[in-house]
């Protein structure tokens, strides 16, 4: 099937068409997990008992060997100088005819019409709240798209899309509402102000597809394009991942639990890939060709890239500038230029994200300060470590091969329900995270050269060539080592630390990156040269 689809896509692209087809197979069925003995449903309801069972495909407990590293690429200036606009966004399909709907004929075929301010939806599904509320959902999405992309909604008062929610393809073909000229798609497809999507086994995923294609339609017709594949699909996934509660819509929602987003499966895809030792380079995500999205997995990686850039305090302002560049043929080159000297830190943050990803991952609280530390004073130093943050830069530089004594003290909170969980640096042994007691103090020394510490680093030759780098450059780069922050040392109440590399000392309490918001307080750590 796929060779035929690829040829079809090539023909559409050659005609200067925007393929926002999302014609992938549906992802793994991320159904709500059945309750099992000893399982805890959520952090808010957890009890002070044994650690909850690990989710399928999550990162294994500490075994002394970190998962396969997610490499970073060469510097942004190097890529910007070499990259070619191979992923330039195709032109919108502005001249293609729109389907003409004969309402009487559609009704005779069992297709009913639902009207909203921003969406006219035709469907052969029977009346019911889950279906009949979709135009209202779409109406609520429009002002949120406008706000996100800094668009004046008043200037687009007549903007509206036509949608086709399909159960029986033959009924839509007979009425001309599923044109033969559309490329094959398995879930959903959009072009300009029309979108088509097949019925789904969950209400959430049905809404997700509608919002995903609606985002494509908004960007294509109002912004003038959707950008290259990673940005096009990353933005559609980011703004389609939503919360629908009591008739109110929230776009760009990071689900806290798997049960909130049945059949979405993006986080599970990434966790499974990392557990299997095949994570994606950020460079390779940026270099995705349009044909990649015939499969489901690229949607997950594009979503993760967009989510990291959108929520990270260091990158989000620059990321939001990209919506003004969607029609530029050198979009990716401009993106690398915007990242500038932050490209290396971004790739390391990507490595930390995908290795530890789980529902509710708090990107803001886990943001890392990579400023190099200063030498430890001869008399030593004391630092405070917040319990509600990820890795924290102590500002202290430790030397390779030298022994340092770390002593920790203090009392802090690692949960607040059903009551406050108090913790000391030795951790809470009645619950574990990644094989270590919850709340125990961890340390890592990040080498001054960051991910350059142990090897020639960058992206694999295939990735380098796919973004337009010359073969010589592609051959000179290789696999990067994993971040030192993925290989922590347990400190607890106290430990002796002998760094392998000279670098900056980082500290944190051991907790899930999705469960930091209900922590509070801090501990004190004294560092002395032994």
Model confidence over 122-169: pLDDT tens digits?
999 999 999 999 999 999 999 999 999 999 999 999 999 999 999 999
Q: Which residues pair with 245 in a beta bridge?
A: 248
Phi, psi for 392 (deg, rounded to 5): -120, 130
Banded pLDDT at 181 (limits 50, 70, 90): confident
| CA neighbor of 360 nearest in space, from 259, 288, 250, 215 | 259
Q: How many Cβ atoms sit within 10 Å of the Cβ of residue 299?
A: 24
For 355-368, the pLDDT digits (tens) are 999 999 999 999 99
What CATH class has 374-529? mainly beta
Pairing of strands 428-433, 188-191: unpaired
The structure tokens 């560049």 sit at 325
Edge-first strand listing for the sheet containing 441-447: 374-375, 392-398, 503-509, 441-447, 489-490
Paired tokens of 68 = 């396969």
Say whether 496 sits in a helix, a strand or coil.
Answer: strand
* pLDDT higher than 70, residue 28: no
* pLDDT higher than 60, residue 501: yes
| CA neighbor of 27 nearest in space, from 300, 296, 358, 212 | 296
Say whether 109 sits in a helix, a strand or coil.
Answer: coil
Intra-chain end-to-end CA distance of the chain, in Å: 66
Paired tokens of 326 = 């969607």
| CA neighbor of 251 nearest in space, from 260, 241, 261, 259 | 241
The predicted pLDDT at position 180 comes to 85
| CA neighbor of 380 nearest in space, from 485, 505, 510, 521 | 505
The predicted pLDDT at position 463 comes to 39
The DSSP line for 345-373 is: HHHHHHHHHHHH--TT--TTTT----PPP
| CA neighbor of 344 nearest in space, from 278, 394, 283 | 283
Collect all residues with Cβ–Cβ distance below 8 Å to 296 and sequence separation of at least 6: 24, 25, 26, 27, 28, 265, 269
Q: How many Cβ atoms sit within 10 Å of the Cβ of residue 234?
A: 28
For 417-429, the pLDDT digits (tens) are 899 999 999 999 8
| CA neighbor of 75 nearest in space, from 459, 360, 520 | 459
207, burial (CB in 10 Å: exposed 0-12, middle 13-18, buried 19+) = buried
Q: Please state the domain extents for the chain.
A: 2-31+73-356, 374-529
| CA neighbor of 237 nearest in space, from 310, 146, 166 | 310
* pLDDT higher than 60, residue 93: no
The predicted pLDDT at position 450 comes to 67
Measured N-to-C along each axis, helices 331-339 and 343-356 cross at an angle, to the nearest 10 degrees, of: 100
The predicted pLDDT at position 23 comes to 47
How far apart CA 56 and CA 234 sit, in angstroms, is 24
Length of the chain: 530
The predicted pLDDT at position 64 comes to 29
| CA neighbor of 447 nearest in space, from 311, 344, 333 | 344
How far apart CA 215 and CA 237 sit, in angstroms, is 9
Average pLDDT estimate for 50-60: 29
Average pLDDT across the chain, whole number = 82
* pLDDT higher than 90, residue 238: yes
Q: What percent of the chain has pLDDT over 90?
A: 71
How far apart CA 151 and CA 326 sit, in angstroms, is 14
Regarding predicted confidence, which is higher, 457 or 200? 200
The predicted pLDDT at position 448 comes to 83
* pLDDT higher than 60, residue 79: no
For 283-315, the pLDDT digits (tens) are 999 999 988 988 999 999 999 999 999 999 999
Paired tokens of 453 = 């510490």
Answer yes or no: pTM beyond 0.85.
no
374-529 shares the fold of 2-31+73-356: no
Q: ∠50-52-56 over CA atoms, to 5°?
A: 150
What CATH class has 2-31+73-356? mainly alpha
User: Residue 91 to residues 14, 220, 226: CA-CA distances in angstroms?
Assistant: 10, 9, 9
Banded pLDDT at 37 (limits 50, 70, 90): very low
For 464-499, the pLDDT digits (tens) are 333 333 232 232 223 346 899 999 999 999 999 999
Ranges of beta strands (E only) in 410-512 are: 412-415, 421-423, 428-433, 436-438, 441-447, 489-490, 494-497, 503-509
How far apart CA 513 and CA 518 sit, in angstroms, is 11
* 373 close to 395: Cβ distance less than 8 angstroms: yes
Report the range out of 10-19, 183-192, 236-245 with the highest average pLDDT.
236-245
| CA neighbor of 263 nearest in space, from 248, 292, 241, 232 | 241
Banded pLDDT at 31 (limits 50, 70, 90): very low
Collect all residues with Cβ–Cβ distance below 8 Å to 419 and sequence separation of at least 6: none
Banded pLDDT at 97 (limits 50, 70, 90): low
* pLDDT higher than 90, residue 7: no
DSSP 250: E
How far apart CA 456 and CA 481 sit, in angstroms, is 9
* 47 close to 277: Cβ distance less than 8 angstroms: no
- Whether the link from the prior residue into 418 is cis, omega within 30° of 0, is yes
Banded pLDDT at 99 (limits 50, 70, 90): confident
For 350-406, the pLDDT digits (tens) are 999 999 999 999 999 999 999 999 999 999 999 999 999 999 999 999 999 999 999
Given phi > 0 = left and psi -120 to 50 = alpha, else beta, which region is 57?
left
| CA neighbor of 440 nearest in space, from 393, 492, 486, 487 | 492
Q: ∠162-163-167 over CA atoms, to 5°?
A: 155
Q: What percent of the chain has pLDDT over 70?
A: 76
């Amino acid at each position: 099937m796929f060779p035929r689809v690829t040829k079809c896509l090539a023909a559409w692209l050659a005609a200067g068409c925007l393929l926002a087809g999302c014609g992938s197979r549906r992802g793994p069925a991320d159904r709500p997990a059945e309750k099992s003995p000893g399982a805890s449903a959520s952090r808010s309801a957890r009890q002070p008992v044994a650690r909850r069972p690990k989710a399928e495909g999550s990162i294994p407990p500490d075994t002394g060997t970190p998962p396969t590293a997610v490499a970073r690429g060469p510097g942004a200036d190097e890529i910007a100088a070499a990259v070619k606009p191979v992923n330039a966004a195709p032109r919108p399909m502005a001249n293609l005819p729109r389907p003409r709907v004969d309402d009487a004929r559609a009704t005779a075929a069992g297709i009913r019409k639902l009207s909203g301010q921003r969406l006219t939806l035709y469907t052969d599904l029977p009346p019911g709240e889950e279906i009949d509320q979709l135009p209202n959902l779409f109406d609520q999405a429009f002002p949120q798209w406008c706000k996100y992309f800094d668009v004046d909604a008043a200037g687009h008062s007549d903007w509206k899309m036509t949608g086709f929610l399909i159960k029986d393809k033959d009924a839509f073909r007979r009425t001309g509402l599923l044109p033969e000229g559309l490329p094959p798609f398995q879930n959903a497809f959009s072009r300009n102000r029309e979108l088509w999507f097949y019925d789904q086994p969950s209400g959430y995923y049905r809404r997700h597809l509608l919002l995903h294609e609606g985002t494509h339609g908004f960007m294509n017709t109002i912004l003038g394009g959707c950008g290259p594949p990673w940005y096009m699909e990353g933005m559609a996934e980011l703004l389609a991942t939503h919360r629908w509660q009591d008739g109110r819509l929230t776009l760009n929602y990071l689900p806290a639990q798997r049960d909130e987003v049945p059949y979405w499966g993006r986080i599970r895809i990434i966790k499974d890939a990392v557990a299997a030792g095949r994570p994606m380079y950020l460079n390779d995500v940026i270099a995705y060709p349009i044909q990649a999205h015939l499969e489901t997995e690229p949607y997950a990686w594009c979503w993760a890239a967009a989510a990291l850039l959108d929520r990270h305090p260091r990158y989000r302002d620059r990321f939001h500038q990209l919506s003004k560049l969607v029609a530029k043929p050198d979009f990716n080159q401009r993106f690398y230029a915007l990242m500038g000297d932050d490209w290396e830190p971004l790739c390391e943050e990507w490595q930390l994200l995908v290795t530890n990803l789980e529902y509710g991952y708090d990107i803001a609280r886990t943001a890392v300060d990579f400023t190099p530390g200063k030498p430890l004073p001869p008399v030593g130093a004391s630092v405070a470590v917040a319990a509600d943050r990820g890795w924290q830069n102590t500002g202290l530089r430790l030397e390779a091969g030298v022994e340092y004594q770390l002593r920790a003290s203090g009392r802090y909170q690692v949960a607040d329900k059903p009551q406050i969980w108090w913790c000391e640096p030795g951790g809470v042994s009645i619950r574990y995270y990644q094989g270590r007691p919850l709340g125990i103090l961890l340390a890592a020394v990040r080498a001054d050269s960051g991910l350059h510490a142990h090897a020639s680093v960058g992206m694999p030759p295939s990735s380098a060539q796919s973004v337009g780098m010359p073969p010589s450059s592609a051959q000179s780069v290789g696999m990067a080592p994993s971040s030192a922050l993925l290989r922590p040392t347990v400190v607890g109440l106290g430990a002796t630390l002998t760094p392998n590399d000279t670098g900056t000392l980082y500290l944190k309490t051991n907790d899930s990156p999705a469960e930091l918001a209900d922590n509070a307080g801090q501990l004190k750590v004294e560092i002395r040269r032994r």
